[in-house]
Structure 1
Amino acid sequence: MSLFVFFAVLAAAAMHAIWNALVKVHLDRFLSITLMTLGMGAVALLALPFVEVPKSEVWPYIIASVVFHMGYRSFLIGAYKAGDFAQTYPLARGTAPLLAALGGMVVVAEVPTPLAIIGIVLLSAGTLVLSFRGGAHLERLNPRAVGFALGTSIFIASYTLSDGSGARLAATASSYAAWLFVCDAAWALVLCLIFRGPKALPVLARDWKAGVYTGVLSGAAYWIVMWAMTKAPIASVAALRETSILFAMMISVFALGEQMTGWRGAAVLSIVAGVVALRLG
């Protein structure tokens, strides 16, 4: 991974953390994600006249990614119903890079170097520790909640591999990203209507400005990730993207005045060590 790509992915991770920290909308997580996805689609729609229409061989990847994103959102809902999502989501974020690495070996025949594997493991471990606040809540996870969390991680890894492969096959990463965001937004709206009904539309419309704002930040961050996957191994990019949780922690400590505890320090060391290993690998 070149130094430019490395810092670009870190910038994308920081952007991901920033929009999560700054957005203040009175919506539940599902509607917030839907609103963000619609914002991404609306902004991408403006870009369509300036990018290439994907060739026929690219569309299966876009369609697959939309399906995987739909599954991802569906499992988010299931995680809410199964238990405390704040406990199950870290399992998804922490295990997704590992699954992406394994999937990358099979799907795109990318075998990470030993040092890169160490970096992926350290990053995943640090993400889990930081999210679980030292693992204090692990014992309270029930099998159903774990199932939804791991299912979510499978969908994250799946759309990561699909988008990495599709972006490589497309004329440009920008072309792939713009068409994906538009298609994903259309189906996110359909999914929202299925789960929440037409009554959700006025709620979403009320916070449309937040949707555009988060859509721009999230769309730019994920566009960088897809572009990076055309320049570097998918597994390494996917793992490095999870440093967003490190940036989120820094925001909470330095901007919100939260305490830097021992488990946070240990998690930071693990994540930083993983980042260094990925860069050297």
Structure 2
Amino acid sequence: MSIWVLFAVLAAAFLHALWNALIKVGTSKLGAMVILSVAEIPIGLMIALPRPSMDPAAWPWVLAAGCTHFFYKTFLTFAYEKGDLSRVYPIARGAAPLVVAVVGALFLNDVITGPQYAGIGVLALGIALMARGVFTDGESRRLLPFALGSAAATATYTLLDGLGARVSGDAITYVAWVFVADGLIFTLGSLLLRGTAVFPRAPRAWAVGTFASLASYGAYAISIWAMTVAPIAVVAALRETSILFAVLIGWLMFGERMTRDKAIAALMIVAGVIVTRL
């Protein structure tokens, strides 16, 4: 991997942590997520329409991924309403590869090496330590089921996207249409559940949400591009440095409490994920 690809993947990791942080900025986490979803629609269309048509066989995968993203965003929104960025993000982000690894070993006949088993163990311990901090630091325990629900949804759409992108014949076009489906499904679903009151009125909220959407696509697109020019396992592992970026953003920008156990747990989660993906 060249130094430029390395920096690009680290930038993608930062952008992923950044858009999550921007969801925390507003008073209404759901409103911020709706704005992000609305902005995804024109972004996806501008990228998808000029490109060659996607293989029609990929459309079921696009719709399935869009529906899964609805649950991912919903769980993540509720988790951020209950807890800190530096607590929720590592659990939600770290538990997803743990779920994928365990499910793959049990049901998909994936071959797990000795070092990968060690990585899974470190990852599980890191998540357990991070979750334990919720109880010892007096935080809302209600963040845990939502953070874990977000992780389960992430694991699901990761599998869907991997298969769908292969069927589509063009990963960039596939991701763009997933953006459109994701934006439409989440926006319409939120309208049905909460009505028009779900839309924030402040122009600043729309500016922040739109920027978060651009950061989200940038993180996604850079990662996919990097996987075409560098080993997929290495890129996937480096992306998980987003956990450290999120912890630092929560601490430095939001003034979230940083304990020794939280820092150790974050490092364990990153180390465990990297080992399981190499």
Q: What is the TM-score normalised by the length of structure 2?
A: 0.76
1:115 is aligned to: 115
RMSD after superposition: 3.9
1:209 is aligned to: 207
Maintained 8 Å contact 2:90/2:243: no
Maintained 8 Å contact 1:164/1:226: no
1:14 is aligned to: 14
Structure 1, residues 157-183: CA drift from partner, whole Å, max 9, x if none?
101111122122322221111111011
Inter-partner Cα distance in structure 1 for 2:151 and 2:160: 14
Deviation at 1:202, TM superposition (A): 5.3
Structure 1, residues 225-250: CA drift from partner, whole Å, max 9, x if none?
4456675259x82x654432211223
Which ranges in structure 1 are unaligned for 5 or more consecutive residues? none
Which ranges in structure 2 are unaligned for 5 or more consecutive residues? none
Maintained 8 Å contact 2:40/2:180: yes
- Percent identity (aligned): 37
Return the letter of the residue paired with 1:31: G
Maintained 8 Å contact 2:250/2:256: yes
Inter-partner Cα distance in structure 2 for 1:15 and 1:25: 15
2:42 is aligned to: 42
Structure 1, residues 88-120: CA drift from partner, whole Å, max 9, x if none?
776443322111223445787643433234335
Inter-partner Cα distance in structure 2 for 1:79 and 1:254: 20
2:158 is aligned to: 160
Deviation at 1:44, TM superposition (A): 1.9
Is the aligned partner of 1:173 residue 2:171? yes
Return the letter of the residue paired with 1:59: W
Deviation at 1:12, TM superposition (A): 1.9
Change (3 A) 1:126 1:41: farther
Inter-partner Cα distance in structure 2 for 1:63 and 1:72: 14
2:181 is aligned to: 183
Deviation at 1:73, TM superposition (A): 3.4
1:94 is aligned to: 94
Change (3 A) 1:20 1:140: closer
Deviation at 1:36, TM superposition (A): 1.6
Change (3 A) 1:90 1:253: closer
| Deviates most, 30-39 or 201-210 | 201-210
| Deviates most, 22-31 or 127-136 | 127-136
Aligned equivalent of 1:250, options 237, 248, 251: 248
Structure 1, residues 164-212: CA drift from partner, whole Å, max 9, x if none?
2212232222111111101111111101201220233353766322222
1:70 is aligned to: 70
Inter-partner Cα distance in structure 1 for 2:103 and 2:202: 36
Report the number of matched residues. 273
Return the letter of the residue paired with 1:185: G
Inter-partner Cα distance in structure 1 for 2:37 and 2:199: 14
Aligned equivalent of 2:271, options 266, 270, 273: 273
Inter-partner Cα distance in structure 1 for 2:202 and 2:188: 13
Maintained 8 Å contact 1:65/1:162: yes
Inter-partner Cα distance in structure 1 for 2:114 and 2:7: 21
Maintained 8 Å contact 1:13/1:242: yes
Return the letter of the residue paired with 1:26: G
Return the letter of the residue paired with 1:166: G
Inter-partner Cα distance in structure 2 for 1:255 and 1:202: 23
2:29 is aligned to: 29
Change (3 A) 1:85 1:185: same
